[in-house]
A and B are shown apart, each in its own frame.
Chain A
Amino acid sequence: MKKRIGLNVMMVVALMWILVGCGQGNADSGNNAAPSASPAGTEASSNKEDKTEKAVEIKFMHVFGGTQGEAIKEMVDRYNASQNKVIVKAEQTQGFYDGLLEKLQTLAVSKQLPEVAIGSYANGEFMSTRMPIRPMHTFINKEGYSTEDYTAQMLKLGQDADGKQQSLPFLVSTPLIYVNLDHFEKAGIPVVEQPESWEQVRGWAKQLAAVAPDRGGVYFQMDFDTWMFQTLLESKGGSYASVKDKDVQFNDETGKEVLRYWLDMMQKDKSIPMMNGTQAAEAFQSGDLSMLVATTGNLANLSKNSSFKLGIMLLPTWEGEQTPRRLPAGGAGLYVFQGSEEKEAAAWDFVKYATSPESSSLLAQKMGYMTVRNSAREELMADYLKENPKAAATYKQAQDIVPWFNWPGDAGTRATRTLLDHIQGSFSGDMTGDEALDKAAAEIKKVLGW
Chain B
Amino acid sequence: MRRIPWQPYLYLSPVLVLYAIFFVFPFFFSLYISFMEWDLLLDKKQFVGLSNYNEVLGKPLFWKVIGNTLLYMALTVPLSAALGLVYALAIERAGKLRSLYRVLFFVPVVVSVSVAGLVFSLMFSPQNGLINEWLGLFGIGEKAWLQDTQLAIYALAIVGVWMSFGYNVILYISGLKQLDNEVKEAAAIDGASGWQSFRHMTFPMLMPVHMFVWTITLLHSLQVFATVQIMTLGGPNNSTNVWAFFIWQEAFQFFNTGTASAAATILFVIVLGLTVIQVRWMQKRTQWV
Give residues in A with beta carbon < 8 Å to B: 8-9, 12, 15-16, 19, 98, 101-102, 105-106, 108-109, 130-131, 214, 216, 224, 273-276, 279, 282-283, 286, 288-289, 410, 413-414, 417, 420-422, 424-425, 427-428, 430
Contacts and interface: CB of A to CB of B under 8 A. Distances in A.
Interface size class of B (residues with CB under 8 A): 20 to 34
Contacts of A106: 252
B255 A105 contact: yes
B128 interface: yes
Interface string B119-161: 0000001111000000000000010101111100000000000
14 contacts: A12-B11, A102-B253, A105-B41, A109-B40, A130-B41, A224-B233, A275-B144, A276-B146, A288-B127, A414-B254, A421-B236, A421-B237, A424-B237, A430-B237
A283 B127 contact: yes
A274 B149 contact: no
Contacts of B39: 410
Given A8-B10, A15-B14, A283 B128 contact: yes
Nearest to A423: B237
Nearest to B132: A214
B13 interface: yes
Given A274-B126, A275-B127, A428 B253 contact: no
B127 A273 contact: yes
B14 A274 contact: no
Interface string B13-42: 110000000000000000000000001111
Contacts of A289: 127
Given A283-B127, A424-B237, A428-B239, 16 more contacts: A98-B253, A102-B252, A105-B41, A109-B40, A130-B41, A214-B142, A275-B125, A275-B127, A275-B144, A275-B147, A288-B128, A410-B41, A413-B253, A428-B236, A428-B237, A430-B237
A437 B240 CA distance: 21
B144 A424 contact: no
Contacts of A279: 125-128
Contacts of A101: 253
A299 to B, nearest CB: 21
Contact of A425 (B128, B149, B253): B149
Interface of B: 7, 10-11, 13-14, 39-42, 125-128, 142, 144, 146-150, 233, 235-239, 252-255
A428 B150 contact: yes
A16 B127 CA distance: 55
Nearest to B146: A276
Contacts of A414: 254
Contacts of B7: 8
B237 A282 contact: no
Q: Shortest 5 CB-CB distances between A and B: which pairs?
A: A274-B144, A425-B237, A428-B149, A424-B236, A283-B127
Given A105-B41, A105-B252, A282-B127, A274 B238 contact: no
A410 B125 contact: no
Most chain B beta-carbon contacts within 10 A, residue among A15, A224, A413: A413
Contacts of B142: 214, 273
B236 A425 contact: yes
Given A12-B10, A106-B252, A428-B237, A214 B127 contact: yes
A314 B237 CA distance: 31
B127 to A, nearest CB: 4
B41 to A, nearest CB: 5
Given A12-B13, A16-B14, A276 B147 contact: yes
A131 B144 CA distance: 38
B238 A421 contact: yes
Contacts of B149: 424-425, 428, 430
Contacts, number: 92
A424 B39 CA distance: 30
A105 B125 CA distance: 32
B17 to A, nearest CB: 9
A420 B252 CA distance: 19
A282 B125 CA distance: 10
A50 B272 CA distance: 61
Nearest to A410: B255
A314 B210 CA distance: 62
B252 A9 contact: no
B41 A282 contact: no
Nearest to B126: A275
A271 B236 CA distance: 20
Contacts of B255: 105, 410
Contacts of B127: 214, 216, 273, 275, 279, 282-283, 286, 288-289
Contacts of A276: 146-147
B83 to A, nearest CB: 29
A57 B3 CA distance: 59
Contacts of B233: 224
Contacts of A130: 41-42
A422 B237 contact: yes
Nearest to A15: B14
Contacts of A8: 7, 10
Most chain B beta-carbon contacts within 10 A, residue among A98, A216, A273, A275: A275
A277 B14 CA distance: 49
Given A274-B147, A274-B148, A413 B254 contact: yes
A417 B252 CA distance: 14
Contacts of A282: 125, 127-128
Contacts of A288: 127-128
Contacts of B252: 102, 105-106
Contacts of B41: 105, 108-109, 130-131, 410
